Structure 1
Amino acid sequence: MAESKSPLDASNTVSRLPPIPDKCHRFVLMRHGESAFNNANIFTGWCDVALTQRGVVEAVEAGEVFLSQSLHFRKCYVSLLSRSIVTAHRALDAGGIAYTPLDYDYRWNERHYGALQGLSKEQTAIRMGRDIVMKWRRCYSDRPPLMTEQHPHFQTINKDPRYRYLMHVPRGESLEDCQQRVVEVWKETIQEIEQNFEPLDFNYSLLVAHANTLRALVMHLDIIDPEGIESLNIPTAIPFYYDIDLSTGQVVSNKPQGMFRGIFITDERKQRSFLERRRAANDPWMWALHDDQVATSMLSDREQPEQANSEKFGTEEQLRVPELEEEARKNTELFAPDQSTRDP
C-alpha cells in the first residue's frame, strides 16, 4: 500500500489569490484543527471530541490567512461534529468575518469508523495486523467492523439529539459509503449556489469538514481512482480551494484529472506550531478499551456467523498481546473518566 502523503507543496500553494474565472464559484475547503483523538492517534469517526489547544491555534491561523486575503464567504458549511463547528467559529472570528452564516449537515460528518472508534490506531494495528487495519483506514471499499450495541459509543451516538431526524445512524462506513453522502450534499450545495447566486453576492464559500469526507470529495472533484486516493492525506486547518464551474459543477483547472488539483492558501504564519497537549478530562468520549476487550465481540458484525468472525479476526485469546496490557491499562486511566463519576 502506498505511503500516505500530504498534497501540500510549493507547486500548489499561493499567497496571492488569482481572479476567479468567469461563471465560477470559488469553494474553500479545510479540515478541522487538531482534535484530542488526532493528538492521541485514536480512531475518531463520529466521536464528538474537542479541539486541542494546538487545534484552536491552527483554526485561528487559518482565519488570519482569510484576513490577509480579505476573504468574505457567502456561507460556511460544517458537519454536526464540534471539531468542525468550533474550527469554523474560531477561523471566521479570527478572519473578521464571524457574521458568516453556518449551514449544518450530518452528511459532512467524518466517516463512521464502526467498532474501531475509540481504539488506538497503533495498538489495533499490532493486534489485528497492520495490513488489514491499513485497508480499513485507507482503501476505498473496505468497510471496518461494524459497531455493535455493546460498543461504549453505540448508545451515546444513537441517543444524541443532533441525529434525531436520521432514520438510520450508520454503524460503520467504508470511504465509498462516506463518499455517497458527501457527493449527494455537495451536488445539492452547488445547485443551490447556482440557483440563488447574485452578482453582488460573495463569490466564495467555505467548507470545514474532516479528513475522510474531504478525501471523498477530492476524489470526486479530481476524478482520482480508488488506488490513487489511498495515499492522499489532508492536513489539519490549512485551507485549499477549487474553482467550480456552476453550469457544469466541474473543477476549472489547468492540471489533468486523476491528481490532486486543489490550491492551498497559505503564508509564513501558517506553519503549524507544536503546543502542549490538552484533553478534556471529563469528556464522555475520552475512553480507551483494555486490550482484552478489543476482541471478536467488538471487532465484528453481530449478524455474521461466529465461525466467520473467528476466521477473519482470530479468537479472543489469539488477539491478546500480554506485553501491551500494561500500556492499555495506562491508556485507559488516561482517557477514560473515573467510573465513580460517570452517569449510571
Structure 2
Amino acid sequence: MIQVSRWSLFYAIILGSVLLLLFHFGICNRKKTIKDAITPYITLLLLIFIRVIFPVDSDAFYVIRSTKLLNAVHDLLMITLLYDLSIEKVLVLTWIIGAIVSLFIWNCSIKKDVQKTKIIKECASSLPEKQLSIATKAGLNANCVFVTDKIDEVVTVGIREYMILLPQTDYSDIDLYNIFVHEAAHIKHRDIRNRVLLHAFCCIFWWNPIFRLFEKDYSILMEYRCDENAVQFYTLSEKIAYVETMKKMTVVKLDYCYRYMEAGFAIASRKSMLISRADRVFINEKKNIKRIAVAIALEICLFFLSYAVIFQPYYEPEIEGEVAVDETNAYLIKEDDEYRIIIDDEDWGIVPKDDLKTRPYCRLEIRE
C-alpha cells in the first residue's frame, strides 16, 4: 500500500538539500562546462521539487533498516512535552504556522505591488513608432511595451499576460533590440510564473536555507539561458554590443516578480554575475547532446531509486513476559492523568509515568 511517510519526506529533504548544495557550488564555479549543464540542472530542480511534494513509500519498496541513528531520531520525536504534545507534533505545528505566515506576508506584498503596477501602467505611454518595430522584430507584442518615468530599469510583469516597462532613458536601437530579445526569452519560458511557483515552494519549506539558495541559483540559470537564446545567431561584433548593453544597464536586471517577493531573490554579487554572463556570451562551443542526455538519464534513475530504496527505523520486538510489545500490537489509552497499556486488545494495566519516556512505551500510539 502506498502511503505518505515522514521518513520518505526526511529522506527527500536531505537528499534534495545535498544535491542543491552541490548544484550551488557548481554555479559559483562558473566554469565553461556549465553550458552543457543548464538543462540537467533545471531537470534536477524539477525532480527534487516532485520528490519533496510526494514523500510516499510502499510495502513493495526495499527498506534499509536503521537500528541506531533513525531509532534515536524517532525516540526523540516521540518525547512528550507540555499538553501531551510530542516533539514531532510541535515541529509539525511550527512548520505549518511558519508556512502560513510566510505565504500570508508574501501574498500581501504581491497585492501591494500589483496595485503599484496598475498605477504605473496608467501613467505610462506607448512606444514611439520606430521602437515599436524594434519590439516586433525581437518577437514581442509591441502593444505590451510601455515607457514610464516611475522606474529606473527594465522590468517585465505578468504571469498570464505580460507587460514590459521601460524607463525614460535614451537607448540606442541596438540596446533596445538586445533588451527586447532578452525579455522575449523570459516570456517564452514563462520565467515569472516559474519563479512564483518556486517561491511558494520555498515559503512552505521556509526553515530550509538551502532551498533559499535554490531560488538564487534558479534565477542565475534563467539569466544564462535567456542570454544564450538571445545571442545564439549573433556575430562576434553583435555579441560585443550585447555585453555593452548589459554594462549600460549598470545593475543586473531582475524580473518584476522579485520586487514583491521576499528578500533573498536578488542576486548577491551583481558584479560577478555580470562577468559570468559576459563570459558565457562569447562561448561558441555547441552543446554536447550526448552528455546532456546521460546526465538527465542518471538524474531520473536517482529519482526513482530514491523511491525504491527507503530508510526506516527498526526495533527488535521487546518482550514483556512472553508478549512482544511494539506499535503494531500495542497502544496506550489516556484516562485522566494515567495511561493504560493495551496489548493484543487486552488491558495490561497502568504504566508508571516515569516509564512513559522509555522504550517500548515512548513508541506507542496514545489514544484518548
TM range (shorter): under 0.3
TM-score relative to the length of structure 1: 0.21
Pair member with larger Rg:
2
Larger helix percent:
2
TM-score relative to the length of structure 2: 0.20
More relative contact order in 1 or in 2 (CA 8 Å, sep 6+)?
Answer: 1
